[in-house]
Structure 1
Amino acid sequence: MPQSYIKKILDARVYDVAIESPVDPAPQLSRRLNNNVLLKREDLQPVFSFKLRGAYNKMMHLTEEERRKGVIAASAGNHAQGLALSATKLGVKATIVMPRTTPQIKVDAVRARGGKVVLQGDTYDEASNYAKKLVQEKGMVYVHPYDDPEVIAGQGTVGMEILRQVHGPLDAVFVPVGGGGLAAGVAAYIKFVRPEVKVIAVEPEDAACLKLAMEKQRRARLPEVGIFADGVAVAQIGKETFRVLRKTIDDVITANTDEICAAIKDIFDDTRSIAEPAGALALAGLKKYVEREGCEGKTLLAIDSGANTNFDRLRYISERTEIGEQREAILSVTIPERPGSFKKFCNALGKRNITEFNYRYGDDQDAQIFVGVSVRQGGEDRRELVSSLEGMGYPVLDMTDNEMAKLHIRHLVGGHRPASVEHELLYRFEFPERPGALMNFLTKLGNRWNISLFHYRNHGAAYGRVLVALQADPTQRKDLESFLDKLAYPYHEESENPAYKLFLS
């Protein structure tokens, strides 16, 4: 029974290596959600994740003979770092099998903490199978990242701390789930001590192994697993963790990639720290819970479970955040192919901020543009925008939820210049990035020269950058350059750029 974990959790040896992480308020998010939102900051641990709690507690329960054999584990990174640090502290050799898809920051961190890294397979399960093979061949002790009572008890100290740190009401605790070690430990403790507190598991939509098991009332394996939230990319819930969770968890919520990215931004806004996708997963679930239940005035806590993510992944996270917060609409709009159409369309948008504008001349009848527009949070404003544009006669396709459009099409709008487009000149412009800047640019550009290519994306920088192709025959070249000089926007002609010649001209 889950109650058997209480003594194990109370006796767990974790504080030789772990800190009692703080519970921090999230004031901006609390105001926005009309609830008291708290974050349990496991990202502040020495390995930037809760995982060293379970790893060290397991190590402390090994016999001297087992320690001499050395330990081995399969991990996407955080358990690996925790085990490597624990083993180094206790003078034990540690071998870690990691999927090849593991972020390099985690691989480097394991090596820096004294662990030997073996890269094998593309998923946790493939790495785990290889680690178990090495156990048979070399006799090392396997330290499971989640499906072990001592590991679960070590992670359960997070729940013990939460109840000690949160004074007053606590309505729900949101816990990220991969294999279920953290959730099982936290749920076992909280449900025994304060059964009125809801414990809600949160999984990625593309790695929802607990949700699948709860629906089937038995453990089942997902046919494939998404790896964006690599720290929870597990195909099957643990046997021991499921035994505990099926009796203690109140609900399972799933979050998609955009929602996780939005939660990463929420954590940054309130703490100035950057969570990894799995680290922000619980908060993404908390936000969905508030929207679903319509609750107000509640005290809700999300476990920020880790901060191990590659810096270059932030580009992708930032790109998806606005959509995850439902503050950007991605639309395909058909406008007439004639000078002045861009400006007229921008006028139709009113004071809404344009976040992206992509176009390439196709024919002399219609222009197909790919446009991003800021909208108020929630879907209603987006629907009103689409309805308003359709009412003005613009054919509109809402692609905000179109994964291919967000991942690929937005970067492919363009192509080579059609044969009917003559005398095309390409220019790169910069202008101060502020509300209305793009509209001001189009107004000054006027209708004299036809635009045959247009690309703009708001990146939150001080200066906006626009790539524009204008049609001007040789007799107009001098007038065009004189006009551009008077625009007072820095510009560079790119008509001879080899990238333009290869892919666009």
Structure 2
Amino acid sequence: MTDFTDAALAVTARLRSLFPATPLQRNAYLSALYDADIWLKREDLSPVRSYKIRGAFNAMRKALEADPDQDLFVCASAGNHAQGVAFNCASFGKRGVIFMPVTTPAQKIDKTRAFGGTGVEIKLVGDYFDETLKVAQEFCAKAGGHFLAPFDDPHVIEGQASVAVEMMDAMEDAPDMIVLPVGGGGLSAGMKRYLDEVSPDIELLLVEPLGGASLTAALAAGEPVTLPRVDSFVDGASVARIGARPFEVLRDVPPESVLIAPEDRICTTILTMLNVEGIVLEPAGALSLDVLPSLKDRLRGKRVVCITTGGNFDFERLPEVKERAQRYSGIKKYMILRMPQRPGALRDFLELLGPNDDIARFEYLKKSARNTGSVLIGIETAKPENFDALFARLDAGGFAYRDITDDQTLAELLI
């Protein structure tokens, strides 16, 4: 065994004093759907509902081994890392100061405070994470604390490898394929390094969100690069720049083994797992399942493990998730309709709707001409093809309209 393998085994054993191994569960629904043997490694069932507790534990343990008198730990995080750090501060009996952006949802702030108890102080600073991080690091240096990085740290990578250790221990035979998310790279680097040493024949597929594909960009450039823009919807995996240390492990990953998940499609996966299986996943936690439809031919007859990395889902986001899922699935559209300004015009339009077409939004925008007015209309239907029939009837009826569902600029302004 290498030093890394020994370290991963050791941290896994030490974690048992903190929490039991997260379940590895065969999912009958997905197995039947893809004619495969599909298992879920349920990191969403850890004490903090994500795998982040592992790396934070190992980094804190190593820091205390080096300096037993260290009493202050500092981090910057908008979510799961903060909760992992808070939980471990309470467990080790150490003080923690956690910096979070002002825009962090109250649910995440409250959970972090609950895990940390009276020993953890939360400071809300900055509108964006980069601002928060800068202030946190400056505070840490002045206060003499130990800064806990979320992923670009060898001890964090080592701790996240415990996911792979537990998974392999729970299986009689090694899986054919493992699918896991990649954000900053701590989990993927830790798992890849361990699996390369103990079971190198396993096919490893990494998934990152479309709006935060930092690994894809780094592989293309041959080094970590900073993305000019990041979509923060998948907040647990949307990272502008993959960590330097994780990339050293991931630089030999074939580009075709890194899959991209569009944010709106992830919403359909979240709803499916919630409605069909009763499993609550945050956007990052659903990444490994979201790509399964695109892998259908490759999955048949294989044993596959998907890592569900987190379940810290704020249910106040559910309306947005449903909206994005409906639009991606093609069963909800928005249009601007030029409505004639005459008696009976609205009735004429309503009569063109099919039996499964429902108006979800109706809003007069303004009179665009003497005889017409613009109306914003949102319509939900049962099947995407119903819109083809509706548009045909609108054309035949002489109605002027514009489908703005996929027009990002207009959608942001009007919807």
Pairwise TM-score range, normalised by the shorter structure: 0.7 to 0.9
- Please, what is the CA RMSD of the aligned residues? 3.2
Please name the residue that 1:43 is paired with: 44
Instruction: Report deviation, 1:234.
Output: 2.3
Residues 21-170 of structure 1 mapped to structure 2, 5 A cutoff: 21-29=22-30, 36-64=37-65, 66-69=67-70, 70-112=72-114, 113-114=116-117, 115-166=120-171, 170=175
Q: Please list the CA deviations of residues 160-199 of structure 1 after superposition, one character each: whole Å capped at 9, or x if unmatched.
A: 2333445567443222222111111122223433334332
Please name the residue that 2:18 is paired with: 17
CA distance in 2: counterparts of 1:406 and 1:31, whole angstroms:
38
Which runs of no fewer than 5 residues in structure 1 stay unpaired?
A: 411-505
Please name the residue that 1:213 is paired with: 218
Instruction: Assess if the C-alpha contact under 8 Å between 1:276 and 1:309 holds in 2.
Output: yes
CA distance in 1: counterparts of 2:16 and 2:340, whole angstroms:
67
Instruction: Report deviation, 1:246.
Output: 1.7
Residues 182-197 of structure 1 mapped to structure 2, 5 A cutoff: 182-197=187-202
Q: Higher mean Cα deviation, 29-38 or 74-83? A: 29-38
Instruction: Assess if the C-alpha contact under 8 Å between 1:275 and 1:307 holds in 2.
Output: yes
CA distance in 2: counterparts of 1:402 and 1:162, whole angstroms:
43
CA distance in 2: counterparts of 1:400 and 1:39, whole angstroms:
34
Task: Check if 1:312 corresponds to 2:316.
Answer: yes
Instruction: Assess if the C-alpha contact under 8 Å between 2:157 and 2:186 holds in 1.
Output: yes
Residues 421-460 of structure 1 mapped to structure 2, 5 A cutoff: none
CA distance in 2: counterparts of 1:382 and 1:405, whole angstroms:
23
CA distance in 2: counterparts of 1:326 and 1:188, whole angstroms:
41
Secondary structure class of the residue paired with 1:270: helix
CA distance in 2: counterparts of 1:248 and 1:213, whole angstroms:
11
Instruction: Report deviation, 1:125.
Output: 3.1
Please name the residue that 1:271 is paired with: 277
Please name the residue that 1:255 is paired with: 261
Which runs of no fewer than 5 residues in structure 2 stay unpaired?
A: none
CA distance in 1: counterparts of 2:401 and 2:201, whole angstroms:
48
CA distance in 2: counterparts of 1:227 and 1:314, whole angstroms:
16
CA distance in 1: counterparts of 2:277 and 2:342, whole angstroms:
49
Structure 1 residues 164 and 405: alpha-carbon distance in aligned structure 2, compared to 1, 3 A threshold:
farther
Instruction: Assess if the C-alpha contact under 8 Å between 1:26 and 1:270 holds in 2.
Output: no
CA distance in 1: counterparts of 2:326 and 2:231, whole angstroms:
21
Partner residue of 1:392 out of 389, 396, 404: 396
Structure 1 residues 127 and 68: alpha-carbon distance in aligned structure 2, compared to 1, 3 A threshold:
farther
**Length-normalised TM-score, structure 1:** 0.70
Structure 1 residues 168 and 64: alpha-carbon distance in aligned structure 2, compared to 1, 3 A threshold:
closer
Q: Larger C-alpha radius of gyration, 1 or 2?
A: 1
Instruction: Report deviation, 1:213.
Output: 0.7
Q: Please list the CA deviations of residues 250-297 of structure 1 after superposition, one character each: whole Å capped at 9, or x if unmatched.
A: 62223233122222212212332322222223322334x337x68655
Q: Please list the CA deviations of residues 200-249 of structure 1 after superposition, one character each: whole Å capped at 9, or x if unmatched.
A: 22222222221211111111112233322222232211111011112346
Structure 1 residues 216 and 259: alpha-carbon distance in aligned structure 2, compared to 1, 3 A threshold:
same
Structure 1 residues 209 and 320: alpha-carbon distance in aligned structure 2, compared to 1, 3 A threshold:
same
Instruction: Assess if the C-alpha contact under 8 Å between 1:332 and 1:397 holds in 2.
Output: yes
Instruction: Report deviation, 1:55.
Output: 0.9
Instruction: Report deviation, 1:9.
Output: 1.5
Please name the residue that 1:416 is paired with: none
Instruction: Assess if the C-alpha contact under 8 Å between 2:336 and 2:402 holds in 1.
Output: yes
Q: Higher mean Cα deviation, 361-370 or 181-190? A: 361-370
CA distance in 2: counterparts of 1:395 and 1:27, whole angstroms:
48
Instruction: Report deviation, 1:83.
Output: 1.6
Higher RCO (CA < 8 A, seq sep 6+)? 2
Please name the residue that 1:415 is paired with: none
Instruction: Assess if the C-alpha contact under 8 Å between 1:188 and 1:248 holds in 2.
Output: no
Amino acid of the structure 1 residue aligned with 2:291: G
Structure 1 residues 226 and 168: alpha-carbon distance in aligned structure 2, compared to 1, 3 A threshold:
same
Q: Higher mean Cα deviation, 7-16 or 245-254? A: 245-254
Q: How many residues align?
A: 404
Instruction: Report deviation, 1:364.
Output: 3.9
Q: Higher mean Cα deviation, 306-315 or 180-189? A: 306-315
Structure 1 residues 160 and 369: alpha-carbon distance in aligned structure 2, compared to 1, 3 A threshold:
same
Instruction: Report deviation, 1:330.
Output: 3.5
Structure 1 residues 382 and 238: alpha-carbon distance in aligned structure 2, compared to 1, 3 A threshold:
farther
Instruction: Assess if the C-alpha contact under 8 Å between 2:361 and 2:379 holds in 1.
Output: yes
Please name the residue that 2:378 is paired with: 371
Instruction: Assess if the C-alpha contact under 8 Å between 2:336 and 2:374 holds in 1.
Output: no
Q: Higher mean Cα deviation, 134-143 or 42-51? A: 134-143
Structure 1 residues 175 and 67: alpha-carbon distance in aligned structure 2, compared to 1, 3 A threshold:
farther
Secondary structure class of the residue paired with 2:260: strand
Partner residue of 1:353 out of 357, 362, 367: 357
Instruction: Assess if the C-alpha contact under 8 Å between 1:40 and 1:302 holds in 2.
Output: yes
Secondary structure class of the residue paired with 1:318: helix
Structure 1 residues 35 and 375: alpha-carbon distance in aligned structure 2, compared to 1, 3 A threshold:
farther
Q: Please list the CA deviations of residues 20-63 of structure 1 after superposition, one character each: whole Å capped at 9, or x if unmatched.
A: 11233444455555655443211111111111111112222234
Please name the residue that 1:477 is paired with: none
CA distance in 1: counterparts of 2:229 and 2:351, whole angstroms:
46
Secondary structure class of the residue paired with 1:96: strand
Structure 1 residues 357 and 87: alpha-carbon distance in aligned structure 2, compared to 1, 3 A threshold:
closer
Instruction: Assess if the C-alpha contact under 8 Å between 1:221 and 1:235 holds in 2.
Output: yes
CA distance in 1: counterparts of 2:181 and 2:305, whole angstroms:
12
Q: Please list the CA deviations of residues 135-161 of structure 1 after superposition, one character each: whole Å capped at 9, or x if unmatched.
A: 321221222111112211211111223
